[in-house]
Amino acid sequence: MKAAPFEHHEPTSVDEAVSLLESLDGPTVLSGGQSLVPMLRFRLANPDVVVDINGIEELGYLREEDGFLKLGALARHADVEGSELIAEKYGSFADAAPLVADPQIRNRGTVVGSVAQADPKGDWGSLLIAHDGEVVARGPDGERVIPADEFFLLPYDTALDEDELITEVRVPTPSDREGSAYHKLKRKTGDYAMAGVGVRLRFDDDGVIEAAGIGMTAVDITNARASDAEDHLEGERPTPDLFEAAGESAAEESHPESDEHGDAAYKERMVKVLTQRALGDAAERAGVVKQRRVSR
């Protein structure tokens, strides 16, 4: 790495970090560094000041609390991958974690850092959307909670202010009749998604879909919600035909561009396929159906 010169600060508390962000000129926050460091190396990012939050030990948590699954700003992808709590109750997170980049990046990179980077090809934003999650930020005026739907504005652009630090992302804990899943297509380990779909389904006691969440990766300018597809699902019983219709709808709602990951028509088609696969897994994990293939 041959980065341009920058000033490096290492706060050890959130308060100290926030006051640094407020007082310094044009600060950039460094957490896992898996996007920022390559950008420094290419000199695509040339910040004068870097606030390195890796010393804030209190931010390394992953826990359930007050009806939420909470991930602190220093929870690494690998923490999600290795968590028993996640494996037990959060199917979509358990699906996504081992699909993020490669093991080296997962050991160092953070979930919050990926969300803050707001790359439309990042995975976690889709799950925040599917789960009606929230971003918790601290600034000079205190704490602010930003719903996922309002957080992602443009590629690499979010509702976060320059002097704010994301301390946490969180999603509501699931009910007993709830399941979630994430399906992603990529060309190789370490590659970004060609397309990805995260879903969450909550059923009532009769097996009717009470609430549905669908977030899409790499097929729009940000991680995006497929709200028409969600509307298709709510109030219905799960069937392959229903999920196909939802997949079709999600594909229509996506706006992929042709690029090195494939042309737009292929990606739309994959949104349809991945939505169906993810919905099927979510319904199965909710304990409502068992999937089976009739031809092998």
Partner 1 sequence: MSSETDDIPEAETEYQHDEDGGPDPEKHCGHGRGGMGEGVKRKEDKRFITGRGNYVDDIKKPGMLHCEIVRSPHAHARINEIDTSRAMEVDGVVAVLTAEDLAAHELATMPTLMDDTQDVLVNDKVKFQSQEVAAVIAEDRYVAKDGAEKVAVDYEVLDPVVTAEDALEADAPLIRDELDDQEDNHIFDWDVGDKEATDKVFEAADVTVSEQMEYQRLHPAPIETCGCVTDWDPGKDKITVHLTSQAPHAHRTLFSQVSGIPEHKVRIVSPDIGGGFGNKVPIYPGYVVAAAASVVLERPVKWMEERSENIQTTGFARDYDMTGELAATEDGIIKGVRTDVLANHGAYNAVAQPSKFPAGFFNIFTGSYDVEAAYGSLTAAFTNTAPGGVAYRCSFRVTEAVYLIERMVKVLAQELDMDPAEIRRRNFIQPEQFPYESATGWNYDSGDYEKALDKALEMADYDHYREEQRRRIENDADKLIGIGISSFTEVVGAGPGKSCDIAGIEMFDSADIRVNPTGNAVLRVGVQTQGQGHETTFAQIVAEELGMDVENITVEHGDTDTDPYGLGTYGSRSTPVAGAATAVAARKVRDKAKSIAANELEAAEEDIEWDRGSGEFHVAGAPDRSLTITEIAASAYMNHPGSEEPGLEAVNYYDPPEMTYPFGSYIVVVEVDRETGEVDFERFVAVDDCGNRINPMVIEGQIHGGLAQGIGTAMMEHVTYDENGNCTGGDFMNYLLPTANEIPNFETGYTVTPSPHHPIGAKGVGESPTVGSPPAIVNAVVDAMAHAGTTHVEMPMTPDRVWENLAEAGLERDPAETVVFDPVGGDEGEPADD
Site residues (vs partner 1, CB under 8 A): 2-5, 42-43, 102, 185, 187-192, 194, 238-241, 243-244, 247, 260-263, 266-267, 269-270, 272-273, 276-277, 280, 283, 287-296
d(CA 26, CA 18): 13
Shortest gap between Cβ of 264 and partner 1 (angstroms)? 10
Shortest gap between Cβ of 189 and partner 1 (angstroms)? 4
Shortest gap between Cβ of 237 and partner 1 (angstroms)? 9
- Residue 113: closest CA among 146, 173, 154, 158: 158
In the complex with partner 1, the residue whose CB is nearer, 49 or 245, is 245
In the complex with partner 1, the residue whose CB is nearer, 172 or 207, is 207
- How many other C-beta atoms can be found within 10 angstroms of the C-beta atom of residue 229? 28
Bridge partners for 50 per DSSP: 8, 28
DSSP assignments along 66-108, one per residue: TTEEEEETT-BHHHHHT-HHHHHH-HHHHHHGGGSS-HHHHHH
b/e for 135-171, b at 16 or more Cβ within 10 A?
bbbbbeeeeeebebeebbeeeeebebeebbbbbbbbb
In the complex with partner 1, the residue whose CB is nearer, 215 or 280, is 280
Shortest gap between Cβ of 239 and partner 1 (angstroms)? 6
Quote the tokens at residue 296. Answer: 């092998």
In the complex with partner 1, the residue whose CB is nearer, 80 or 279, is 279
Amino acid in position 219: V
Shortest gap between Cβ of 178 and partner 1 (angstroms)? 14
d(CA 174, CA 134): 15
- 28: left (phi > 0), else alpha (psi -120 to 50), else beta? beta
In the complex with partner 1, the residue whose CB is nearer, 58 or 102, is 102
Shortest gap between Cβ of 158 and partner 1 (angstroms)? 22
d(CA 122, CA 111): 10
In the complex with partner 1, the residue whose CB is nearer, 7 or 141, is 7
Shortest gap between Cβ of 275 and partner 1 (angstroms)? 9
In the complex with partner 1, the residue whose CB is nearer, 75 or 105, is 105
Instruction: Please answer whether residues 232 and 253 qualify as being in contact, where contact means their C-beta atoms are separated by less than 8 angstroms.
Output: no
